Amino acid sequence: QSLHWPRIPYHDPEDESTEPDVEGSGDELRFIRRDRLLRNIELCSLDTRTGDSTVLIEEGFEGANIAPKSVRYLKKRNEMVWWSERSGWGHYYLYSMDGELKNPITSGIFRASQIVDVDEDKGLLYFKGNGREPGENIYFQHLYSIFLDGTDLTLLDPSDANHRSVLSPTKKYIIDNCSRIDMAPISRICNSAGDEVMKLEESDLTRLTEAGWKMPETFTFKAADGITELYGNMWKPFDFDPTKKYPIIAEVYPGPQTEGVSHSFSASNGRQQLAQIGFIVVQLGHRGGTPGRSKAYHSYGYYNLRDYGLADKKAGIEQLAEMYPFIDIERIGIYGHSGGGFMSAAALLQEPYNDFFTVGVASSGNHDNNVYGRHWAERYHGLKEVAVKEEEKGKKGKGQEKSDTSSAFDDDDEKKDEDENKDTKKDDVKKEDDEKKKDEKDDEEKTRFEIHVPTNAELAANLKGKLLLVHGDMDNNVHPAGTMRLVNELIKANKRFDMLIFPGKRHGFGDFSTYFTQRKWEFFAEHLLGDHQTGADILIKQ
């Protein structure tokens, strides 16, 4: 009796369309594989009848991880679309089904990201991309179409904004939802040429502005290398006075999977609330923070997962202080959650940044990535593959010496039994020769993977400034052990710090989030503004 098992679709937002694909009548299975180093990737074809496999496409990068993106099989055309960063930027390439490159589909100094759809009859690819439109924020997403032969690239949702566009089933229209951090959302319909057909909705911010609300400001600055252009956002108090001096606080997240700088509109966020207390609050980009640019940009932090982002944060704040006299460069705070907590603590521990940042709040930080998930440390810091041939030889040498010593005591017995054991010894010699050959082969092939991500605990003796560590003791993402290891070393180093543990709370603190936010506000107010709260009750700020 034959059974039909329902197909369960696979989806990973980072690794698009990597599920196995069955070709023909089921005698060929296609799949993508990577090595543990995550630096090599192969598209393979498996003959399900014989078990033989063939590599159709292979790619590799040194000093970087490589992620499988879209591979789209075009069954009608007997072709496939493959994504690669071989040019330094993510682009699509057209291949025959046997792995022969036909032509690049997209090219240039921009990033082609997600495949939205393919019209095989017309030979037309619809995809999302960023960084192509001159004068725009490099991270603004757009929807494009292009023929599979690489001709007639068309922008389908024009306007200087970050777009979340949806292609209609007929591919005749696009619903374009777009905004910027300093532009309220609009929704409209465009045709397949990118022309606006009609507006659907526009946001009305009247009640917000009547209450004194103001848009955040955007800016660009140079990375610490003096060359790379980075992006940032700034929030000011509603009663901002340009003649006053304000402490500046950076909200941070290191990535490398996302940079922690907002590009779309939001009227409700903790950054504006924090600014209302009397701060300038900023987000600042940094090299290595996101895969949304070039391969070189994303790979900047490889083998340097703890420290790579801090230099650009410092450079950005210094440039802002030069441009804006209302920023007090002597009073600088930093805070972040999860990876941002890791980065915030490092800023007060790592020289020379611990002389620059004076107050930090680090919540749910992965302060020791060696006890965090493999998907993070191995992927973004990088493994080293070390041959152990010499080690194994050394071990066998010692064993051989011991065997030779033992044989000296058995000479008499071996002489007595020499004749009757002659055949047995021949067999033993052959067996030893076989084992020796096997051991030599093992020596040639044996390797060990090594990784050590520098930890915040290793820097505990360098702590300067005021640090608040926060963690839930049931964190289901970042194990509290990382924070406890840092705490242990801070105590050993006789350092003063503050700590807040949320009993029974997971990575996001749940119903204790409001309490945490109030404590964070008070911590910055006390140490950057000199506003000391007394008494046991938390003052609820509206």
Helix (H) or strand (E) holding 284: strand 280-284
Q: What is the pLDDT of residue 184?
A: 96
What local confidence, expressed as pLDDT, does residue 400 receive?
43
Q: Do domains 69-202 and 214-382+453-529 have the same CATH topology?
A: no
Tell me the residue ranges of DSSP E strands in 78-195: 79-84, 91-96, 101-104, 111-119, 124-130, 141-147, 154-155, 162-167, 173-180, 183-191
Q: Which has more confidence, 518 or 10? A: 518
Q: Is 106 helix (H, G, I), strand (E, B) or coil?
A: coil
pLDDT in tens, 243-293: 999 999 999 999 898 899 999 999 888 999 999 999 999 999 999 999 999
pLDDT tens sequence across 36-68: 888 899 999 999 999 999 999 999 988 788 876
Give the pLDDT confidence score for residue 15 in this predicted structure.
45
Task: State yes or no: pLDDT of 379 exceeds 70.
Answer: yes
Question: What would the CATH number be for the domain defined by 69-202?
Answer: 2.120.10.30
Burial of 202 (C-beta count, 10 Å sphere; 0-12/13-18/19+): exposed
Q: Which residues pair with 334 in a beta bridge?
A: 250, 360
DSSP string covering 203-230, please?
A: ---HHHHHTT----EEEEEE-TTSSSEE
Q: What is the dihedral of CA 48, 52, 57, 58, to 10 degrees?
A: 130
Distance, CA of 331 to CA of 156 (rounded, Å): 46
Res. 347: pLDDT tops 50: yes
- Residue 230 pLDDT exceeds 90: yes
H or E element: which one contains 292?
none
Q: Which of 3.30.1370.100, 3.20.20.120, 1.10.1050.10, 3.40.50.1820 is the CATH number of 214-382+453-529?
A: 3.40.50.1820
* pLDDT tens, position by position, 326-335: 999 999 999 9
Instruction: Specify the pTM.
Output: 0.85
Percent of the chain with pLDDT over 90: 71
Instruction: Report the alpha-carbon distance of residue 457 to residue 440 in Å, rounded.
Output: 42
State the angle between helix axes of 310-323 and 339-349 in degrees (0 to 180), rounded to the nearest 10: 70
- The residue ranges of every structural domain in the chain are 69-202, 214-382+453-529
- Which H or E run includes 48? none
